[in-house]
């Protein structure tokens, strides 16, 4: 079973010759198909924790281990492959490329991975159909609503069938109705695809759908 471990993970920044501790001795173990929510006030370090866990940043101390590989001590090439094949990331903002169609945006991970073919195209269409944006596949992002753009970002994150999906306030820019739709879709995706969810959110209603909730406060996590 795929497993992600944070071991005594700490992160600090030096600002004006002063050390700011953002994360201190974080220990977490997340297995495939689990739903984990990280809660906490704005600025508590939730996004920093997600970035480190996903291999997008490095801890100051400690380690993040994925299936035996310490993400801080492997080659950049191997780290890129682990991220591409196993991790998906959805941000508060969609980060779609404005000069590409929605289908082209969603296809980017498969193109980078060298797996884009007719079968993959059919798989992408299936994902788009499940997220109810298949009729938008040939549109440029500016023609989509905020909720549709976020669905496209989720579809892109699912293209390579990740084992772990990291979500950083995925509905923070949406109104309540669209937020609820996206939240329900995310939970359905986890249930249907067996994807582990690691979500940073302050939405108390969304949190209720998660099997484990950890509160990040004063740089430490409540287990």
Q: So where are the chain's domains?
A: 3-222
Rounded-to-integer distance, Cα 190 and Cα 197, Å: 7
pLDDT at 223: 64
Total-model pTM: 0.86
pLDDT at 171: 74
pLDDT at 140: 95
Rounded-to-integer distance, Cα 162 and Cα 102, Å: 20
Phi/psi at 23 (5° precision): -135, 135
Architecture per CATH, 3-222: 3-Layer(aba) Sandwich (3.40)
The CA–CA distances, whole Å, from 78 to 67, 81, 85, 151 equal 13, 5, 11, 29
Q: What is the pLDDT along the chain (223 residues), one digit of tens a residue?
A: 788 999 999 999 888 888 888 899 999 999 888 999 998 887 778 889 999 999 889 999 999 999 989 998 899 989 988 888 889 888 877 789 999 999 999 998 888 878 888 988 998 998 888 888 999 999 999 999 888 888 898 889 888 888 999 998 877 777 787 778 878 888 888 888 888 999 988 777 788 888 889 998 888 887 6
Rounded-to-integer distance, Cα 2 and Cα 164, Å: 9
Rounded-to-integer distance, Cα 62 and Cα 9, Å: 4
Rounded-to-integer distance, Cα 114 and Cα 85, Å: 11
pLDDT at 25: 93
């Amino acid at each position: 079973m795929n497993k992600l471990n944070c071991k005594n993970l700490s992160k600090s920044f030096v600002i004006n010759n002063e050390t700011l501790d953002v994360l201190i001795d974080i220990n977490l173990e997340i297995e495939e198909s689990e739903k984990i929510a990280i809660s906490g006030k704005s600025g508590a370090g939730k996004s920093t924790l997600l970035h480190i866990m996903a291999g997008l940043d490095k801890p100051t101390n400690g380690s993040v281990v994925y299936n035996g590989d310490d993400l801080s001590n492997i080659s950049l090439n191997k780290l890129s492959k682990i991220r591409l094949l196993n991790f998906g990331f959805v941000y508060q903002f969609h980060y779609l490329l404005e000069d590409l169609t929605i289908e082209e945006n969603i296809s980017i991970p498969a193109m980078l991975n060298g797996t884009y073919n007719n079968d993959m195209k059919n798989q992408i269409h299936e994902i788009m159909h499940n997220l109810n944006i298949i009729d938008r596949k040939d549109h440029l992002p500016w023609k989509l609503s905020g909720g549709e753009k976020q669905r496209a970002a989720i579809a892109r994150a699912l293209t390579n069938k990740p084992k772990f999906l990291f979500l950083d306030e995925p509905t923070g820019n949406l109104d309540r109705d669209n937020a609820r739709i996206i939240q329900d879709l995310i939970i359905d995706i986890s249930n249907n695809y067996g994807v582990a969810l690691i979500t940073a959110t302050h939405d108390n209603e969304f949190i209720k759908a998660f099997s484990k909730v950890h509160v990040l406060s004063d740089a430490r996590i409540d287990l």
